[in-house]
């Protein structure tokens, strides 16, 4: 058959043009040979939900795969750097704890600093983190030459305008040969094997393909609606099911961290972009009305009553599909599952789902064993991320009805096991890399005043003098590194100037 027509090639169709859809198109068009496979995106005239504004460090590997220039990416997406999250009023009012990216200080004998810190708790655990120190000082992760200890470990992420990110990904996908069809999938037909054969669009056209990626958001038009895959509801783990989001003018000083503020029936995000500030309240509709949530959000951030703001109210379905890859359909993004955005896992989960799929995807042959492995692994990835988010609520001591109810929700067997390990032996038992490394658990647990019963035996083997020396050396090294990091605004101005120079 004529190869230039593309008809003999494997045809992969992505349904949905939100961030997940365009991320799938951009990644796959780079990683699957165009000689073997042509890719089409069916997208409506919107760029999706568009409120995912904070990311975690795994996004750096996406940028590398896409061959992106970080400064250019940041300019296009109105992005700022993110080094940490500050949790205010979560444990109780007037209390802060931090979740910085990366590790605290250095590893000792290949182990996290944590068990050693337990023997020498003069300063809080997070104060050994360079990310924490840089976030508190409003610094950038990079020096002016784009090099620094934080840059070297990649322990930083971005705040960004999600709609602009979606358009940036779309542009890259189209540049790599992805075709776009404007349309809405009204119906899907299955063949005798039960696979999806064609999708029929609202305008009467139909599109046939060998494989489909369902990126239709909460609709999950192929995986859930057509293949009838079962949804696993997590409202028994996480109570928040509504959000109100708004954009306001940017702050004079742009922080390099996200602030998450505990409120009466949930929490509020405060995300700094270069030109704007994203604010939102994630709450449980059972404990507060939309009107009261909007009022509380305005009051919490002192938004003037006469400010003309356009709040966007969103319904959230928290849970995941039973299978992510079923028949010839893979679900990515909100169509696969959703965990409320407390730890910014949305884009990360889409990215991990795609990266693992690319490793396993074969144009032909028996896919059943691959699907089984993929589904098992992705279920674990989602469940671990949900557990980490639930832990924040579990540790809170706030007294409002929402917080009490959240605290009383059952924890998964795995999380209970992890907390027992922590209590008895100062470890959380991570056997393979997860979205959040063990240090993330230690920041969260110590920040909430939760400590193990004792340091593990191995850490007792280190002489007290040597330990003190190392702990001091980490603080000294961090101070030196911090001096060499420019202020966040200074570095943003630097990349803005570089971008203007490139454009002229």
Stretch that binds ligand FAD, among 38-46, 142-150, 370-378, 394-402 (CB under 6 A): 38-46
Binding residue for ligand FAD, selected from 105, 319, 337, 341, defined by CB under 6 A = 341
Q: Which helix (H) or strand (E) holds 453?
A: none
* Cβ-contact 170, 159 below 8 angstroms: no
| Interface with ligand FAD, residue 435, by CB under 6 A | no
User: Would you count residue 297 as binding ligand FAD (CB under 6 A)?
Assistant: no
The closest of 148, 177, 138 to 272, measured between CA atoms, is 138
Separation CA 272–CA 53 (nearest Å): 9
Bridge pairing between strands 337-338 and 266-272: unpaired
Q: How far is the CB of 86 from ligand FAD (least distance, A)?
A: 15
C-beta of 351 vs 446, nearer to ligand FAD:
351
Nearest-approach distance from CB 49 to ligand FAD, in angstroms: 3
From the list 207, 221, 391, 491, which residue makes contact with ligand FAD (rule: CB under 6 A)? 221
51 touches ligand FAD (CB under 6 A): yes
Q: Among candidates 341, 338, 378, 372, which has minimal Cα distance to 356?
A: 378
Near ligand FAD by CB under 6 A, which window of 15-23, 136-144, 432-440, 453-461? 15-23
Least distance between ligand FAD and beta carbon 55 (Å): 6
What φ, ψ does residue 58 adopt, rounded to 5°?
-60, -20
Minimal CA–CA distance to 153: which of 145, 142, 162? 142
Taking the C-alpha atoms of residue 451 and residue 439, their distance in angstroms, rounded to an integer, is: 14
- Nearer CB in complex with ligand FAD: 16/57: 16
User: Smallest gap, in angstroms, from Cβ of residue 222 to ligand FAD?
Assistant: 9
Of 104, 136, 207, 215, the one binding ligand FAD (CB under 6 A) is: 215
Nearer to ligand FAD, 123 or 187 (CB): 187
Residue 80 three-state SS: strand
157 counts as binding ligand FAD under rule CB under 6 A:
no
Binding ligand FAD (rule: CB under 6 A), the pick from 146, 314, 467, 470 is 314
Our finding on whether 273 is near ligand FAD (CB under 6 A) is no
**25 lines the binding site for ligand FAD (CB under 6 A):** no
> Could you say whether residue 344 binds ligand FAD (CB under 6 A)?
yes
> Which residue, 300 or 350, is less far from ligand FAD as judged by CB?
350
Q: Considering only the stretches 74-82, 109-117, 246-254, 334-342, report the one whose residues sit in contact with ligand FAD under the rule CB under 6 A.
A: 334-342
Gap between the Cα atoms of 210 and 500, Å rounded:
44
Contacts of 212 (CB under 8 A, 6+ apart): 12, 13, 14, 15, 196, 199, 222, 328, 329, 330
Long-range CB contact pairs, 438-442, < 8 A, 24+: 438/112, 438/114, 439/102, 439/103, 439/104, 439/112, 439/114, 439/129, 440/99, 440/388, 441/388, 441/391, 442/104, 442/112, 442/114, 442/125
- The whole-angstrom separation of Cα 283 and Cα 420 is 29
C-alpha closest to that of 258 among 243, 275, 270: 270
- Stretch of residues binding ligand FAD (CB under 6 A), selected from 29-37, 142-150, 217-225, 298-306: 217-225
CA distance 416 to 46: 42
Nearer to ligand FAD, 282 or 415 (CB): 282
Under the criterion CB under 6 A, does residue 240 sit at the interface with ligand FAD? no
Report CA-CA distances (Å) from 452 to 101, 128, 158, 364, 449.
22, 19, 33, 51, 10
Would you say 27 or 104 has its CB closer to ligand FAD? 27
Would you tell me which residues interact with ligand FAD (CB under 6 A)?
15-21, 42, 44, 46, 48-49, 51-55, 162, 184-185, 215-217, 219, 221, 243, 245, 314, 316, 333-335, 341, 344, 346-347, 350
């Amino acid at each position: 058959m004529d190869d230039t027509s593309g008809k003999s090639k494997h045809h992969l169709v992505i349904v949905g043009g939100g961030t997940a859809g365009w991320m799938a198109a951009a990644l796959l068009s780079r990683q699957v040979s165009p000689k073997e496979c042509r890719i089409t995106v069916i997208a409506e005239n919107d760029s999706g939900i568009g409120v995912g504004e904070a990311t975690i460090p795994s996004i750096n590997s996406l940028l590398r795969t896409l061959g992106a220039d970080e400064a250019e990416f940041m300019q296009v997406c109105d992005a700022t750097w993110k080094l940490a999250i500050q949790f205010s009023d979560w444990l109780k009012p007037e209390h802060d704890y931090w979740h910085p990216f990366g590790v605290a200080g250095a590893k000792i004998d290949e182990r996290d600093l944590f068990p050693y810190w337990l023997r020498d708790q003069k300063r809080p655990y997070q104060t050994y983190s360079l990310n924490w120190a840089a976030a508190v000082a409003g610094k950038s992760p990079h020096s002016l030459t784009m090099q620094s200890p934080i840059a070297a470990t990649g322990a930083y992420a971005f705040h960004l305008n999600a709609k602009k990110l979606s358009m940036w990904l779309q542009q890259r996908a189209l540049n790599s040969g992805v075709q776009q069809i404007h349309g809405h999938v009204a119906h899907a037909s299955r063949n005798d094997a039960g696979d999806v054969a064609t999708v029929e669009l609202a305008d009467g056209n139909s599109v046939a393909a060998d494989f489909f990626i369902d990126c239709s958001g909460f609709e999950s038009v192929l995986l859930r609606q057509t293949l009838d895959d079962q949804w696993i509801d997590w409202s028994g783990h996480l109570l928040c099911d509504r959000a109100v989001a708004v954009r306001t003018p940017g702050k004079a000083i742009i922080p390099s961290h996200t602030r998450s503020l505990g409120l009466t029936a949930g929490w509020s995000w405060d995300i700094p972009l270069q030109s704007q500030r994203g604010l939102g309240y994630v709450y449980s509709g059972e404990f507060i009305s939309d009107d009261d949530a909007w009022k509380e959000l305005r009051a919490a951030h002192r938004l003037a009553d006469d400010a003309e703001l356009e709040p966007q109210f969103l319904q959230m379905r928290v849970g995941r599909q039973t299978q992510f890859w079923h028949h010839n359909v893979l679900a990515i993004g909100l169509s696969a599952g959703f965990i409320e955005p407390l730890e910014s896992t949305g884009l990360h989960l889409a990215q991990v789902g795609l990266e693992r799929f690319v490793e396993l995807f074969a144009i032909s042959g028996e896919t059943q064993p691959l699907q089984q492995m993929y589904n098992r692994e992705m279920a674990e990835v989602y469940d671990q991320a949900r557990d980490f988010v639930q832990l924040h609520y579990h540790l809170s001591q706030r007294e409002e009805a929402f917080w009490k109810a959240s605290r009383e929700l059952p924890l998964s067997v795995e999380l209970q096991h992890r907390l027992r390990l922590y209590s008895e032996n100062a470890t959380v038992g991570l056997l393979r890399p997860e979205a959040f490394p063990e240090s993330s658990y230690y920041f969260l647990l110590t920040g909430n005043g939760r400590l193990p019963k004792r340091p593990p035996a191995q850490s007792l083997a280190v002489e007290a003098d040597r330990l003190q020396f190392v702990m001091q050396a980490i603080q000294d090294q961090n101070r030196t590194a911090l001096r060499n990091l420019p202020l966040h605004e200074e570095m943003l101005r630097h990349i803005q100037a570089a971008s203007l120079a490139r454009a002229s």
